[in-house]
Amino acid sequence: MSRHLTLLIVFSLMLAAIFFGETQGCPRTGGRGGGSRRSSGCGTYDPRHYTCCRGTLHLGGGQSCCGSRAYSLHHRTCCRGILHFGSGRSCCGSKAYDYSFSRCCNGRVVFGLHC
Protein backbone atom coordinates (compact mmCIF):
# COMPACT_ATOMS: atom_id res chain seq x y z
CA MET A 1 0.00 0.00 0.00
CA SER A 2 1.26 3.46 -0.75
CA ARG A 3 1.97 5.88 2.07
CA HIS A 4 -0.76 8.25 0.87
CA LEU A 5 -3.38 5.49 0.87
CA THR A 6 -2.34 4.42 4.36
CA LEU A 7 -2.63 8.01 5.63
CA LEU A 8 -6.03 8.37 3.97
CA ILE A 9 -7.30 5.20 5.67
CA VAL A 10 -5.99 6.28 9.08
CA PHE A 11 -7.52 9.75 8.70
CA SER A 12 -10.87 8.24 7.64
CA LEU A 13 -10.92 5.95 10.67
CA MET A 14 -10.15 8.87 12.97
CA LEU A 15 -13.02 10.93 11.53
CA ALA A 16 -15.41 7.99 11.86
CA ALA A 17 -14.33 7.49 15.46
CA ILE A 18 -14.92 11.15 16.30
CA PHE A 19 -18.32 11.35 14.59
CA PHE A 20 -19.69 7.98 15.71
CA GLY A 21 -18.00 7.83 19.11
CA GLU A 22 -16.15 4.59 18.48
CA THR A 23 -13.58 3.70 21.09
CA GLN A 24 -9.90 3.28 20.46
CA GLY A 25 -7.39 1.12 22.25
CA CYS A 26 -6.82 3.36 25.28
CA PRO A 27 -3.75 5.29 24.17
CA ARG A 28 -1.88 6.90 27.02
CA THR A 29 0.15 10.04 27.13
CA GLY A 30 3.45 9.83 28.83
CA GLY A 31 6.85 11.35 29.09
CA ARG A 32 7.39 14.95 28.13
CA GLY A 33 5.32 17.03 25.80
CA GLY A 34 2.82 19.83 25.62
CA GLY A 35 -0.77 19.70 26.69
CA SER A 36 -2.53 19.03 29.92
CA ARG A 37 -2.96 15.53 31.28
CA ARG A 38 -5.87 14.01 33.13
CA SER A 39 -5.87 10.95 35.29
CA SER A 40 -9.14 9.11 35.74
CA GLY A 41 -10.72 5.70 35.23
CA CYS A 42 -9.14 5.84 31.77
CA GLY A 43 -5.62 6.33 33.08
CA THR A 44 -3.59 9.37 32.13
CA TYR A 45 -4.56 10.95 28.81
CA ASP A 46 -4.59 14.27 26.96
CA PRO A 47 -8.15 15.74 27.06
CA ARG A 48 -7.44 17.80 23.93
CA HIS A 49 -7.34 14.54 21.98
CA TYR A 50 -9.42 12.07 24.01
CA THR A 51 -12.63 11.96 26.05
CA CYS A 52 -13.12 9.57 28.97
CA CYS A 53 -16.65 8.28 29.60
CA ARG A 54 -17.12 5.91 32.53
CA GLY A 55 -13.70 4.36 32.12
CA THR A 56 -13.79 4.11 28.31
CA LEU A 57 -11.36 6.30 26.37
CA HIS A 58 -12.61 7.75 23.06
CA LEU A 59 -10.68 9.48 20.31
CA GLY A 60 -11.63 13.18 20.10
CA GLY A 61 -11.29 15.72 22.87
CA GLY A 62 -14.02 17.95 24.27
CA GLN A 63 -16.90 15.58 23.64
CA SER A 64 -19.83 14.91 25.96
CA CYS A 65 -20.68 11.54 27.49
CA CYS A 66 -23.86 9.51 27.21
CA GLY A 67 -23.25 6.61 29.52
CA SER A 68 -19.91 5.18 28.44
CA ARG A 69 -20.21 6.59 24.89
CA ALA A 70 -18.71 9.89 23.73
CA TYR A 71 -20.62 12.13 21.34
CA SER A 72 -20.67 15.61 19.84
CA LEU A 73 -23.38 17.99 21.05
CA HIS A 74 -23.36 19.41 17.51
CA HIS A 75 -24.64 16.13 16.02
CA ARG A 76 -26.52 14.20 18.70
CA THR A 77 -28.73 14.40 21.79
CA CYS A 78 -28.51 12.07 24.80
CA CYS A 79 -31.73 11.19 26.62
CA ARG A 80 -31.36 8.94 29.66
CA GLY A 81 -28.36 7.12 28.22
CA ILE A 82 -29.74 6.72 24.68
CA LEU A 83 -28.11 8.63 21.81
CA HIS A 84 -30.31 10.20 19.14
CA PHE A 85 -29.29 11.89 15.89
CA GLY A 86 -29.84 15.64 15.84
CA SER A 87 -28.60 18.38 18.11
CA GLY A 88 -30.50 20.74 20.38
CA ARG A 89 -33.46 18.42 20.82
CA SER A 90 -35.48 18.06 24.00
CA CYS A 91 -35.93 14.83 25.93
CA CYS A 92 -39.11 13.11 26.99
CA GLY A 93 -37.86 10.23 29.07
CA SER A 94 -35.44 8.37 26.80
CA LYS A 95 -37.00 9.82 23.61
CA ALA A 96 -35.72 12.92 21.81
CA TYR A 97 -38.10 15.34 20.12
CA ASP A 98 -38.18 18.77 18.50
CA TYR A 99 -39.72 21.26 20.93
CA SER A 100 -40.74 23.51 18.02
CA PHE A 101 -43.35 20.98 16.87
CA SER A 102 -44.09 18.67 19.81
CA ARG A 103 -44.48 18.52 23.58
CA CYS A 104 -43.77 15.94 26.25
CA CYS A 105 -47.06 15.13 27.97
CA ASN A 106 -47.00 12.64 30.85
CA GLY A 107 -43.95 10.88 29.43
CA ARG A 108 -45.25 10.73 25.85
CA VAL A 109 -44.21 12.85 22.86
CA VAL A 110 -47.32 14.55 21.44
CA PHE A 111 -47.31 16.40 18.12
CA GLY A 112 -48.55 19.96 18.55
CA LEU A 113 -47.89 22.80 20.93
CA HIS A 114 -50.32 21.74 23.68
CA CYS A 115 -50.87 18.56 25.68
Q: How confident is the model at residue 38 (pLDDT cuts 50, 70, 90)?
A: low
CA 53 to chain centre: 9
Percent of the chain with pLDDT over 70: 65
Per-chain mean pLDDT for the chain: 78
Instruction: Report the alpha-carbon angle 80-97-79, nearest 5.
Output: 10
pLDDT on residue 41: 86
The average pLDDT across 19-36 equals: 41
Q: How confident is the model at residue 11 (pLDDT cuts 50, 70, 90)?
A: very low
The average pLDDT across 31-55 equals: 77
- Going from the C-alpha of 38 to that of each of 14, 50, 55, 104, the distances in angstroms are 21, 10, 12, 39
- The C-alpha atoms of residue 34 and residue 77 are separated, in whole angstroms, by 32
pLDDT on residue 39: 57
- pTM value? 0.62
Q: Is the pLDDT of residue 10 over 70?
A: no
pLDDT on residue 72: 96
